[in-house]
Each structure stands twice: as C-alpha cells, then as structure tokens.
Amino acid sequence: MSSASEENGTTLGHCLCNAISLAIPLTVEPSLSFICHCRDCQRNASGPYQVVVIFPSSSVRINGLDKILKEHTIPGSATLSGSDKVKAFCSLCGCTLFTVPVKWSGEKTVVRIALFDEGLGKWPPTQEWFVKSRPLWIRAAEGTKESNMAGGVGI
Ligand SMILES: [Zn+2]
Ligand SMILES: [Zn+2]
C-alpha cells in the first residue's frame, strides 16, 4: 500500500513551501533516529529538541532548484560536537531540511524527521543526545538511551 508521501518506491519529505523535496528509497532504513537537545537544535526548532534521522548521503535524493537550497556552515567552535556542520535550508520558506556533519566526510546526512508525513511514527527515536540541555519540564522519551554527548551506536 502506498500513500501520498510514498511514490516510485521512495518516502517523500518536503519543506514548508514544497519547493524542495527529499526522496529516500523505501529499501533504505535510517542508521539512527534520535532526539537532539543541543542548543543549536533548540534554537532552530524554538523548542526543547529536534528529532532527526541519519541516512547515507548517497540515498538522499534532493529535488528542487539548486539556487533555492541554501547552506550555512556552523563552525566547530560553535557546535557542541566540536566539528563543523553544514545546515541546508529552503531560501523561499526558511525551513531547515538537513545537516551534513563534516566529521563524517559528507557521507551521512542528518534529516529532520517531521519533513516526512509518516516520519515521526515510522522511525521512533532510540537515543537522546545532549540531555544536559533538556529542560526539566521535558521527560525522556520512552525506550531511548540517553547521552550528554553526541552519542551514536552503530553510526
Ligand atoms: Zn520551502
Ligand atoms: Zn542538535
């Protein structure tokens, strides 16, 4: 059975204005789904955390005009992990789409899970990173492994 967000054997996600969409083959599962409480994620989400999934960059197909997709590099001196990350966003609607951490040589793409219609239900997070930034009014998600660092089992 396929839904509107699944097409041609892919799972589709898109920015707020639809100018840029992402397609992931249905045969590819993320290597990790996790909650990130780092200050960058909080600031970008204006909330307590972002939920993101890690895919091999080679499996993420980006549809949309190159000039609409903009990048901003957050220097390692300003990230909790200490390494640069390149944040990609739609310049029409401002929606952040994904980041590419330089420490993985561009091989992994960290995609915001809620861009995909079924993403939050399909890929429940199994880890929480930088929990020291988690506000007291937020509880740990059920079944997650917590870390005060960039964690990552099997990534
Ligand atoms: Zn957009
Ligand atoms: Zn983060």
Domain assignment present for residue 15? The answer is: yes
pTM for this entry: 0.89
Q: What is the pLDDT of residue 134?
A: 94
Q: Count how many Cα atoms sit within 13 Å of the Cα of residue 23 in the half-sphere of its side chain.
A: 11
- Which residues constitute the domain of residue 69? 6-146
Domain assignment present for residue 1? The answer is: no
What six digits make up the tokens of 121? 């239900």
How many independent structural domains does the chain possess? Answer: 1
Residue type, 26: L
The CATH number that applies at residue 135 is: 2.170.150.70
Residue type, 117: D
What ligand is nearest to the CA atom of residue 51? 2
Reported as a single tens digit per residue, the pLDDT across 98-155 is 999 888 899 999 999 999 988 999 999 999 999 999 999 999 999 999 988 776 544 4
Q: What is the pLDDT of residue 154?
A: 43
Neighbour tally for 14: CB within 10 Å: 21
C-alpha 93 to ligand 1 mean position (Å): 4
What six digits make up the tokens of 145? 């492994």
- Judge contact between 105 and 85, C-beta under 8 A: no
C-alpha 113 to ligand 2 mean position (Å): 13
Domain assignment present for residue 76? The answer is: yes
C-alpha 98 to ligand 1 mean position (Å): 13
Reported as a single tens digit per residue, the pLDDT across 50-93 is 999 999 999 999 998 778 999 999 888 887 778 888 999 999 99
Q: At 12, phi and psi to the nearest 5? A: -105, 140
Domain assignment present for residue 37? The answer is: yes
Q: What is the pLDDT of residue 151?
A: 62
pLDDT of residue 2 exceeding 60, the answer is no
d(CA 52, CA 99): 10
User: Cα dihedral sign for 41, 47, 53, 59?
Assistant: negative
Q: What is the pLDDT of residue 65?
A: 78
C-alpha 132 to ligand 1 mean position (Å): 32
C-alpha 44 to ligand 2 mean position (Å): 9
What ligand is nearest to the CA atom of residue 95? 1
Domain assignment present for residue 151? The answer is: no
- Judge contact between 118 and 5, C-beta under 8 A: yes
C-alpha 94 to ligand 1 mean position (Å): 6
What ligand is nearest to the CA atom of residue 20? 1
Q: What is the pLDDT of residue 152?
A: 56
Q: What is the pLDDT of residue 83?
A: 84
pLDDT level of residue 41 (50, 70, 90 thresholds)? very high
Residue type, 83: S
Domain assignment present for residue 152? The answer is: no
